[in-house]
Amino acid sequence: MWQEVRSELRPKGLEIVTVALDVGGVEAAGKFIDRANAEHPSLIDAQHLLDELFGVVNVPSGIWIDEQGMVVRPPEPAWPGRAVFQDFIPKELPPDADPWVVKALALTKRIRHDPKRYMVALRDWVERGADSSYALAPDEVVARSRPRTRESAEAAAHFELGQHLHRAGFADDAVPHFREAHRLEPDNWTYKRQAWTFADPLQRPNEVYEGDWASDVEKAGPENYYPPSDI
């Protein structure tokens, strides 16, 4: 997906690094990485370190880092010129489609995204560097990163215990920690979707978690699923 962007911008000094937030590790992310067959580094983050270290709460999220290793844009929704999730919406649904799926697709259509503007901004930064109006000053980067509240820090600690236990083969013991992470930071979609996937691959209602993708997105409002981009 990003390979095309990489081919265009790598000669101009941009490298792309993709990071799969997947507790399932290679088993979960490997086949997608193989299919993408990208030339750029494609990493696997089984612990969701990007949540804790950068304040990522949803995917896709892009972070810009300059030549000196300074973040010039904190995490925000990032698109390779098109919103990939829209590709999965079928034009027509069979009349007997699962009502939950129907609802989930209707919500997906209402998710806010502006993929064209993201690429305009990215190209501008690659071209003009620090002179680009999209490159933010250090104070601004810090101020625009997620608030780190006591609750969000505790959510990170619970999620870390959850993923650790899950990967160590104690999936049941991981659940209370995942549930705590969801309660403490309800707008962190990576914590929710990761755990829901273990209960139901489609993130439908299940007996392990109160939430599911469609119900929680509906509750939050699909227009809030991604933060408003100011790019």
Partner 1 sequence: MILDSLDVDVSSFEIRTGWAIKPQGACKAEMCVEMPEGSDSPTIDGRILAKRLGMPLVPDTTHGLWALGPETLGRALSSAEAPELILPDRGGIEFRLSSLRGLKVLLLAWASW
Q: Which of residues 20-79 bind partner 1 (CB under 8 A)?
A: 20-22, 24, 26, 28-30, 32-34, 41-45, 49-50, 52-56, 59-72, 74-75, 78
Nearer to partner 1, 111 or 141 (CB): 141
**Smaller CB separation from partner 1, 28 or 105:** 28
Q: By CB under 8 A, tell whether 120 contacts partner 1.
A: no
- Please check whether residue 60 is in contact with residue 113, taking contact to mean a CB–CB distance below 8 angstroms: no
Place of tokens 């990967």: 167
14 binds partner 1 (CB under 8 A): yes
- In degrees and rounded to multiples of 5, residue 127 shows phi and psi of -70, -45
The 91-110 site mask, x for binding partner 1 (CB under 8 A), equals: --------------------
- Residue nearer to partner 1 on the CB measure, 32 or 221: 32
Closest C-alpha among 2, 55, 8, 10 to residue 32: 2
Q: Is 125 in the site for partner 1 (CB under 8 A)?
A: yes
Q: Is 142 in the site for partner 1 (CB under 8 A)?
A: yes
Instruction: Extract long-range pairs of 83-92: CB within 8 Å, 24+ residues apart.
Output: 83/111, 83/113, 83/115, 84/1, 84/60, 85/111, 85/113, 86/113
Please state the closest distance from residue 207 (CB atom) to partner 1, in A. Answer: 19
Per-residue binding string, partner 1, 206-225, x by CB under 8 A, is --------------------
- 69/201 Cα distance (integer angstroms): 37
C-beta separation of 58 from 189 below 8 A: yes
Nearest distance from C-beta of residue 102 to partner 1, angstroms:
21
Token pair belonging to 53? 């270290």
User: Token pair of 102, please?
Assistant: 């129907």
